[in-house]
Amino acid sequence: MDLLWIVMSVLFFVICLAYAGFLAKEGKIWKT
């Protein structure tokens, strides 16, 4: 079960990083 919680934690933060990347990309689109 430990693996489940660890993977879930890591996965959440990977999603957050992807979210930041998405917003960075959106920001550039709107600026141009």
Partner 1 sequence: MNTSGWLQLAFFSIVLLALTRPMGLYLVQVLDVNGKTWLDPALKPVERLVCRAAGIDPAQEQDWKGYAVSLLIFSLVTMLLTYFILRLQYFLPLNPQGLSGVAGDLSFNTAASFTTNTDWQNYAGESTLSYLSQMVGLAFHNFISAAAGIAVAAALVRGIARDKAATVGNFWCDLTRICLYLLLPICLVFAVFLVSQGIIQNFSAYQSARVVEPYTAQVPKKDASGNVVHDAKGKPVIKEIKVETQTIPQGPVASQVAIKLLGTNGGGFFNANAAHPFENPTPLSNFFQMLAIFVIPAGLTYYLGRMVKNQKHGWSVWAAMFFLFLVGVLICWEAESHGNPRLAALGVDQSMGNMEGKEVRFGAFNSALFATITTAASCGAVNSMLDSFTPLGGLVPMFNIQLGEVVFGGAGAGLYGMLVFVVLAIFLAGLMVGRTPEYLGKKIESFDIQVAALAILVPIVFLLGFTALAAATPWGVKALGNAGPHGFSEILYAFTSCFGNNGSAFAGLAGNTFWYNLTLGLMVLIGRFLVIVPVLALAGSLAAKKTVPVSAGSFPVSGVTFALLLVGTILIVGALTFFPAISLGPIVEHFLMVNSNKLF
* Cβ at position 15, least distance to partner 1 in Å: 9
- If you search the block for the tokens 């660890």, which residue do you land on? 6
Instruction: Provide the residue type at 32 as one letter.
Output: T
Residue 24 to residue 16: CA distance in whole angstroms = 12
By three-state DSSP, how is residue 21 classified?
helix
| DSSP structural state of residue 9 | H
Q: Is 32 in the site for partner 1 (CB under 8 A)?
A: no
Would you give the binding string for partner 1 spanning residues 1-30, x where CB under 8 A is met? xx-xxx-xxx-xx--xx-xxx-xx-xx--x
Contacts with partner 1, residue ranges (CB under 8 A): 1-2, 4-6, 8-10, 12-13, 16-17, 19-21, 23-24, 26-27, 30-31
